[in-house]
Amino acid sequence: MVKCINVAVPVPFLDQLTYRLPDGIATPVRGARVLVPLGTRLVTGVVAGEGEPSPDTPTLKSVVEVLDAEAFLPGPVLDLALWVADYYACGAGDAVAAAMPPRAMAHGRASAHRTVRTAAVTVQGREAIDGRTAAPPGSKQREALAVLAGAPEGLALPVLRDRGVAASTLARLARRGLVAIRRDQVDRDPFAGWAAPVLAGDDPSADRTLTDEQAEALARLEALVAAGEFRVALLHGVTGSGKTEVYVRLARAVRAMARTVLVLVPEIALTPAVARSFRSVFGDEVAIQHSGLSDGERYDQWQRIRHGAVSVVVGTRSAVFAPLAGLGLVIVDEEQDASFKQEETPRYHGRDVAIVRGRDAGALVVLGSATPAVETYHHARSGRYEHLRLTRRVLDRPLASVRVVNMREEYAAHGTDVIFSQPLVAAIGERLGRGEQALVLLNRRGLATAVFCRQCAGTLECPNCSVSLTVHTERSGRPRGRCHYCNYSVAVPKACSQCAGPYLERAGFGTERVEAEVTALWPHARVARLDRDTARRRGAGPDTLSRVARGEVDVLVGTQMIAKGHDFPNVTLVGVVSADVGLGLADFRAAERTFQLLTQVAGRAGRGARPGEAVIQTLYPDHYSIRHACRQDYAAFFEEELRFRRALRYPPIVGLIAVVFRAPTFAQALEEASDLAARLREGRDETLRVLGPAPAPLGRLRGEYRVHVILKGTHRGAMREALLAALASRPDLRRRVTVDVDPLSVL
């Protein structure tokens, strides 16, 4: 009898493939890696289960080698990945690859590079520093020695690079015998690099008294943990209500029962408070998993988790697949955050997968938020989730008082090119005078958002995408137009490329311009900016944040990156330059996102002893998302939002699947989308509605035209089946179609 196994191979969109086991190769366990032929290549796949011998078994290809004697992926993690493949309609290998540590599916056996190069001062180097011998001539070399002098054991090269020490400088010092470079065997500690300066600081005290609300929530959650059954709880607590303290104490209770804890955060670099709190209680028992780590670091941590050396994992989205055994608690902090959704295949939502993981493990899942996702609150209100509330800040600190400025009136009084209203200028000035700090938010990067010609009205557009180019200041100081989607960039021309007229003007403004404006108004203020442009440099984001924490920055300007999770006691003012930036988007979540962003950012003010204030500038003071955000009234916002979702049939009233067709011409994309839509409509399932085809709001992206079809329905299983059946009839389209189940936006 021929034996067969099913294997998930890392090839986009492929289902599991069946292979036969040749004589002499023992049956591998489920979750082990195997080397199998695929086309003309050999690839590493993961055994998903026993295969069915069928009439065509003799023609099946054979497994070449079994790479693991034991399961590489634990059973529950493999099951979770296969669930993801099914639910999000992607390939089995796509999902399994997402669950694997880096390089584990590279051809052959995985190798972890367990060494790091470290530089340390030599005896001669010390003498040079002390002035007992001639010091090196270059200032760069002297600076490098000064940095190394503070670390007798030496510093890893990546750490030195983050501190501005170039590899060439180190090489020169090494040649002079002032520095020695060695190779260290390490189990890398990801906290050692960027995290250290952020992690230092206030230590959450083990014996601080909980507020009544914290104590009540904790007691309820502990009871749920003790029941040892799957349950989802929403911990709905206003900003500064001390949710982290509740998580940590609950985690202790779970550890006391010898079960493990998984904590998901939206972006680890921006949520140091959470990582720090868990580390301070659980020390080395904590592993960290996020995409900011190098492959080697991630691999090491993954192995530690896999071998049971770790009982608490803190990580971003992909950590939902961490190979923890005996899971008792899953925490998803800031569960409403859009970064939990992966915007490439597999397009899974970390929070939703976390809930499935908790269900399979019989664990408690705690979703924490000050502004829950509409879906989450909907389930909490209906009783499907436990609903726990923290309505007050710790130590009876008041929520920030919010003041709305109608920019139409400001424009009428002071002209349309003002960036800061009079009330905001006054409020920032006051903070500077008192030595307090201010955050200024504008959720849009760059210097200007468009360049247009006053003569022919032409605009500077991306040749690949249907968007206008954003103006950024380059290092050279010259302006450059850049596409935020495909990264195309061009020097801003002096004359219009269409009519040759020299009348180019800039419109709109972003964070770069706001930063310049702050500097112009308050030349002595210490200003910093945090957005995707400044954070691109490795370590720059955490570095800016720790400078703010140390009081070395007076005004921090930034995008939504500054709105999340930080706890700066000396920030007493938050200014929002244009609260309506996101409302213009043709997206059903625009109001929800705006409400969340405003509430989050207002929550950054007044977290210390002094009360906070928020000044919100807007053109639409009457829009419900802005009105309710100013009163920080989540429930009222939710009621209005749900009415809108119900009227237009959007989630959580129905489920959505967005199908985007990409093609070199619009006609082709439209033709293919129409064909698929027609096949979908043939099914005549009453629970399913097919909208489109229609040009996607982003009609062109990276040189391709985009047309979409949207499925709406109340039964996701039926929707998926109908879609997969339709797609199966056009296999030629598979690579040009993007399927997004539960899309966060339909742009």
| Footprint on this chain of Zn ion (rule: CB under 5 A) | 462, 464-465, 483, 485-486, 488
The DSSP element (H or E) to which 713 belongs, if any, is strand 704-713
Stretch that binds ligand ADP, among 233-241, 322-330, 375-383, 685-693 (CB under 6 A): 233-241
CB of 330 to ligand ADP, least distance (A): 17
**Partner whose footprint covers residue 394, from ligand ADP, Zn ion, none (CB < 5 to 8 Å by kind):** ligand ADP
CB of 270 to ligand ADP, least distance (A): 13
Cβ proximity to Zn ion, 66 vs 465, nearer residue: 465
What's the rounded Cα separation, in Å, for the pair 223 and 253?
Answer: 10
**Partner whose footprint covers residue 567, from ligand ADP, Zn ion, none (CB < 5 to 8 Å by kind):** ligand ADP
CB of 202 to ligand ADP, least distance (A): 7
The DSSP element (H or E) to which 30 belongs, if any, is none
Residue 480 burial (10 A CB sphere; 0-12, 13-18, 19+):
middle
What's the rounded Cα separation, in Å, for the pair 497 and 460?
Answer: 8
239 binds ligand ADP per the rule CB under 6 A: yes
**Quick one: tokens of 430?**
């006051």
| Vertex 320 angle, CA 582 and 288, to 5° | 95
The mark string for 335-374 relative to ligand ADP (x by CB under 6 A, - otherwise) is ----------------------------------------
The DSSP element (H or E) to which 180 belongs, if any, is strand 179-185
271 binds ligand ADP per the rule CB under 6 A: no
214 binds ligand ADP per the rule CB under 6 A: yes
Sign of CA dihedral 503, 508, 512, 516: positive
CA nearest to 88, candidates 585, 746, 742: 742
Cβ proximity to Zn ion, 295 vs 474, nearer residue: 474
**Partner whose footprint covers residue 191, from Zn ion, ligand ADP, none (CB < 5 to 8 Å by kind):** none
328 binds ligand ADP per the rule CB under 6 A: no
Cβ proximity to ligand ADP, 79 vs 216, nearer residue: 216
199 binds ligand ADP per the rule CB under 6 A: no
CB of 462 to Zn ion, least distance (A): 3
Cβ proximity to ligand ADP, 141 vs 214, nearer residue: 214
204 binds ligand ADP per the rule CB under 6 A: yes
CB of 231 to Zn ion, least distance (A): 45
567 binds ligand ADP per the rule CB under 6 A: yes
Report yes or no: 334 and 265 within 8 Å, Cβ to Cβ: yes
**Partner whose footprint covers residue 465, from Zn ion, ligand ADP, none (CB < 5 to 8 Å by kind):** Zn ion
What's the rounded Cα separation, in Å, for the pair 37 and 542?
Answer: 45
Report yes or no: 570 and 453 within 8 Å, Cβ to Cβ: no
210 binds ligand ADP per the rule CB under 6 A: yes
What's the rounded Cα separation, in Å, for the pair 660 and 638?
Answer: 29
240 binds ligand ADP per the rule CB under 6 A: yes
What's the rounded Cα separation, in Å, for the pair 568 and 274?
Answer: 14
CB of 535 to Zn ion, least distance (A): 21
Stretch that binds ligand ADP, among 88-96, 201-209, 411-419, 522-530 (CB under 6 A): 201-209
The mark string for 383-402 relative to ligand ADP (x by CB under 6 A, - otherwise) is -----------xx-------
Report yes or no: 268 and 314 within 8 Å, Cβ to Cβ: yes
Full 3-state SS string of 312-366: EEEECHHHHHCCCCCEEEEEEECCCCHHHECCCCCCCEHHHHHHHHHHHHCCEEE
CA nearest to 11, candidates 131, 95, 128: 95
Under rule CB under 6 A, how many of the chain's residues touch ligand ADP?
18
**Partner whose footprint covers residue 244, from Zn ion, ligand ADP, none (CB < 5 to 8 Å by kind):** ligand ADP
CB contact burial 656-673 (16+ within 10 A = b; e otherwise): bbbbbbbbeeeeebbebb
Binding interface with ligand ADP (CB under 6 A):
204, 208-211, 214, 237, 239-245, 273, 394-395, 567
